[in-house]
Amino acid sequence: MDFTLGRKKYLERFTPDEFDYIVIDEFHHAAARTYRLLIDYFAPKFLQGLTATPERTDGGDLLALCKENLIFRSDLVEGIREQLLSPFHYYGVPDEVDYQNIPWKSSHFDEVALTEAVATRARAENALDQYRKRGGTQTLAFCCSTRHADFMRTFFRDADVRAAAVHSESSSDPRVGSLEQLSAGALDIVFAVDIFNEGVDLPSIDTVMMLRPTESRILWLQQFGRGLRKAEGKPRLTVIDYIGNHRTFLLKPQTLFSLPSGDAQIDHQLRLLEQGKAEFPPGCEVTYELETINILRTFLRLGSDDSPIKYFYEDFRDRNGVRPTATELYHEGYSPGSLRKSYGSWFGFVQTMGDLSSKSQQLAKIGSAAEFLKELEITAMTRSYKMLVVLAMLNSNCFPGEISIDRLCDGVRRLARRSAALLRDLAVPLDDSQALETKLVGNPIRYWKQVGGTSGVSYFTYRDRQFATTFHISDQDHGDYANLVRELADWRLATYLDRKLPSDRPKNDKDDGTTELDGLERGRSYTRKDIPPAFGFVFNTGAWNQGYVAQTGHIFLFVALEKIQMAQEFHYADRFLSRDLFERQSQNKQSQESPAGWKIRDHAENDISVHLLVRKTKKTSEGKATPFTYCGDVDFVSWDGDEPITVQWRLKQPLPDQLARHFEVA
């Protein structure tokens, strides 16, 4: 029996709404076929995924699968601060292997060539020296292949170290027995090959050795995490990690320090380490040998304009064997919408990168179907409805095509039940079919009927309770076009949901207009030039090199907390009063009765979002402009004085621990 068919028949023993609450462990596997069958089949009132490593194992995007519905997240740093995980001492040591000469195949180093390079006496001697210098009493070492693990076992045994090798081949030592011996003190070290990455409880492990490169953050973090369990008599975990001459090794500091994407973030962290200014959780230390830092710096690409997006795109493709989707790019802190100025559209950029098939290129260039893709990318979203009806049609395999209003309501209902934000956005009881139908007909259906391309023909019709596209795609091209539409709809919905649907925005159900809003991600750093494109604006020095920037529907507050490097006339009293309260002083000539003053006071009533961007200093120690950290949206609380005005702003979301420490907020 076909595997998929067998699983589906098993699921059909239950009704889709059989369970009210479904919990899925190891949710980072959610993209796998077996997981997707279950997720797509059931329609519980609540579906919860649990994972210690919140990334899809194929490099994809968990948040997109969950419709941006993240309930709770606690990272490694927070776990250590809460004393749930063991502190660690991390040592990044230089690897003498020349990784540049090892073939890269299917997003991995070629295993045979990699083994030849790492299973050498010289490297084993270095590993033994590191082990004797820094290792503890119970060590788990990760190797790249069976032969590598067996080689290391033999070498360490010859050096009178009690060692075992555990893997899936016949030369393996007993898996359970080896772990028991390690825990009992009868073994000193176990060399493993992708067998203890997850699902194994090893609380007494006090040393982890990374003797292999890792091409994914999730694998590296899983291996690191094998030793983070707390145990009696274990003061810390020691991690010995080899850093080699290949760009993939940049994933290690990025993951260790929970850095956003971008080489500039890694460069900044390396400088903090060199200056002794890097911050670590209590009891933790990070030591990079100078040669290690030099190796990492060799592979940093610090470009400008859209170069960071290209670099991330290329790295993602190299690591995972596929290009990133627009949503994946967005979740890494980049704005796909910012590419339109140079490339015309997101898919124009993808084509330039060589990743759009000739069939997809044709679908994205000619006719009403191509015009609809452009409309989908730029249409404004004051509500989620337009994307919901498109996604509901896609999920029913009816796009392009026709769908009854009853079936469309069922599809939207199914999507909305997966997200509290979407439920709140629809603002009608999902079980009230008439109310839901009225909502859809009066809003997104009405909008899509009215909007058409340059030919003047609308994209959709609605007659006799049937919602249908006016354009058609051949059967052989149907799947390719549906994939293009889904990618854009997923991205647009992700950007919308990321705005958190503030409860105090005006009750306006209209979902039309032309202005796009992608937004910024809280906690990430941006240059001034990065910010306007994320909101559909164009950067120019005169307008944006100010502390107060007003644009249509938005106010941007740019703040430098330390004023030493600034002229005396710009020494405004700006400070965090608490994690959710910020005090900012205006320019000297600004008054409460000025138009700018009215905008500040009445921004909520006028549907103007106010964004707070903060940096400690104007310049870095190298004399470059310090990027701003986006602290989120703020609401007016009160003001005092005139020319200047001292305004207190309430953050809609309090600063998380990491930002509070960075800005030294009590």
Q: What would the DSSP string read from start to end of 462-487?
A: EETTEEEESS---HHHHHHHHHHHHH
Is residue 312 within 8 Å of residue 262, measured between CB atoms? yes
pLDDT at 495 over 80: yes
Higher-pLDDT residue of 161 and 276 is 161
85-298 matches 525-662 in fold: no
pLDDT digits (tens, 9 = 90+) for 416-463: 887 878 888 898 999 899 999 999 999 999 999 988 877 778 999 999
| Backbone torsion region of residue 124, taken as left when φ is above 0, otherwise alpha when ψ lies between -120 and 50, otherwise beta | alpha
DSSP string, 262-327: SHHHHHHHHHHHHHT-----TT-EEEE-HHHHHHHHHT-----TTHHHHHHHHHHHHHHSSPPPHH
Of 572, 570, 573, 579, give the one whose Cα is nearest residue 656.
Answer: 579
pLDDT of residue 5: 52
pLDDT of residue 2: 47
pLDDT at 86 over 90: yes
pLDDT of residue 66: 67
Lowest mean pLDDT among 180-184, 455-459, 556-560: 455-459
pLDDT of residue 514: 32
pLDDT of residue 63: 64
**β strands within 510-627, DSSP E:** 525-526, 548-551, 554-560, 575-578, 581-585, 609-615
The average pLDDT across 79-100 equals 92
CATH 2.30.280 fits 525-662, yes or no: yes
pLDDT of residue 489: 95
pLDDT of residue 198: 55
For the chain, the structural domain boundaries read 3-75, 85-298, 366-497, 525-662
> What band does 633 get if pLDDT is binned at 50, 70 and 90?
very high
What is the C-alpha separation between 364 and 22, in angstroms, rounded?
A: 39
pLDDT of residue 225: 87
pLDDT of residue 306: 56
pLDDT of residue 282: 86
pLDDT digits (tens, 9 = 90+) for 635-648: 998 888 877 888 99
pLDDT of residue 394: 94
- Would you state the structure tokens that stand for residue 176, as one six-digit string? 């359970």
pLDDT of residue 511: 45
State the sign of the Cα–Cα–Cα–Cα dihedral 350, 352, 353, 359.
positive
pLDDT digits (tens, 9 = 90+) for 131-179: 999 999 999 999 999 999 999 999 999 999 999 999 989 999 999 899 9
From the CB of residue 342, how many other CB atoms can be counted at a distance below 10 Å?
Answer: 11
pLDDT at 22 over 50: yes
Please give the CATH topology (third level) of the domain spanning 85-298. Answer: Rossmann fold (3.40.50)
What is the C-alpha separation between 312 and 251, in angstroms, rounded?
A: 12
pLDDT at 613 over 90: yes
Is residue 554 within 8 Å of residue 608, measured between CB atoms? yes
